[in-house]
Amino acid sequence: MHLIVTGGSSGIGLAIAKLYAGRGARVSLLARHSGRLEQARSELAAVSNVDPSRVQVASVDVASASQTLDAVALCERAFGPCDILVASAGIVEPSAFDAMPAAVFDEQIATNLLGTANVVRAVYKGMKARRSGKIMMISSGAALIGIYGYSAYCASKSGLAGFAEALRAEAGVFGVRISVCFPPDTLTPQYHREMPMRPAEAALLMGSVKPWSADAVATRIVRGLDRGRARIHFGWSLTALAYFGPLIKPPLMWWFSRKMRKINGQGQEVSLVDAVDGGFDRGT
């Protein structure tokens, strides 16, 4: 079995790669920085029973469609057709929308959403022709609710949810399984970079839920892949948000707007009725 993981040099992607390497899969890790890729390759080789010749790395920026296509072709030539793709490459840079340079907004969309489309495009045709294959897109709990300071990230991750659902409708008949997962805060290098930048307003809405370990998130994702799950959720609050969002979000956003007005001492009163009607953001 050949697993390709973008963002495989770190965090959730690397933890998933370790689980498959432990099962004897041939593993291709894709990311930008070759130093971190080599380090990840050594970590994988250290997993018991893993033959180092069954792990390869490729340096690529998934935001580039041509680089991604070439890297995947190279990986498939060496290890055979891709059986499972995990698209985990992602970045986050929180900031209020009007304080965020356009380039920073665009980079999050280019990496998280378009980067995923690029790598899916690179494997999908082959999977469809072989009538088998699995694709897992790593979205985020941030796809389930709009979070202050995360306009680009939420847009990219909720975009992935729509992409996965639409592609699943196309791919099922060809035996290709498309899945998407919505991880919570997870202890990875990205989390540690993000925390100092997380606006207080976002922390207020997100509360103080303990972050998951990358291993726990990876185990759940791999179990979901084994079972062919379309969507994978984590923890009761994100699962509730996923299934009952239209009921939960209006009062939550109403509460958030009241808190914000209290903190800022300004802004417009929003009635709960307005919030339930979806009028929270209207502002007139």
Ligand X SMILES: NC(=O)c1ccc[n+]([C@@H]2O[C@H](COP(=O)([O-])OP(=O)(O)OC[C@H]3O[C@@H](n4cnc5c(N)ncnc54)[C@H](OP(=O)(O)O)[C@@H]3O)[C@@H](O)[C@H]2O)c1
- Contact between 188 and ligand X per CB under 6 A: yes
Taking CB under 6 A as the criterion, which residues in 214-243 touch ligand X? none
Q: Is 136 in the site for ligand X (CB under 6 A)?
A: no
Q: Yes or no: say if 90 and 63 are a contact pair by the CB < 8 Å rule.
A: no
> Which residue, 50 or 91, is less far from ligand X as judged by CB?
91
Q: Which is nearer to ligand X, 90 or 250 (CB)?
A: 90
Identity of the residue, 28 or 88, whose beta carbon is nearer to ligand X in the bound complex: 88
Binder among 28, 118, 179, 186 for ligand X (CB under 6 A): 186
Of 88, 139, 156, 179, the catalytic one is 139
Q: Which stretch binds ligand X (CB under 6 A): 87-95, 127-135, 164-172, 274-282?
A: 87-95
Examine residue 209 and tell whether it contacts ligand X (CB under 6 A): no
Among 17, 19, 21, 63, binds ligand X (CB under 6 A): 63
Which range touches ligand X (CB under 6 A), out of 4-12, 168-176, 201-209, 245-253?
A: 4-12
**Which among 153, 158, 249, 257 is annotated as catalytic?**
153
Number of residues that bind ligand X (CB under 6 A): 32
Task: Compare residues 190 and 219 and give the one whose CB is closer to ligand X.
Answer: 190
Of the listed 18, 134, 156, 157, which one is catalytic? 157
Whether 148 is catalytic is no
56 touches ligand X (CB under 6 A):
no
Please give the structure tokens belonging to residue 249.
């979000």
Quick one: three-class SS letters along the chain?
A: CEEEEECCCCHHHHHHHHHHHHCCCEEEEEECCHHHHHHHHHHHHHCCCCCHHHEEEEECCCCCHHHHHHHHHHHHHHHCCCCEEEECCCCCCCCCHHHCCHHHHHHHHHHHHHHHHHHHHHHHHHHHHHCCEEEEEECCHHHCCCCCCCHHHHHHHHHHHHHHHHHHHHHHHHCEEEEEECCCCEECHHHHHHHHHCCHHHHHHHCCCCCEEHHHHHHHHHHHHHHCCCEECCHHHHHHHHHHHHHHHHHHHHHHHHHHHHHHCCCCCCCHHHHHCCCCCCCC
Catalytic positions, written as ranges: 139, 153, 157
Q: Which residues bind ligand X (CB under 6 A)?
A: 6-7, 9-13, 31-33, 36, 60-63, 88-92, 111-112, 115, 138, 140, 183, 185-186, 188-191
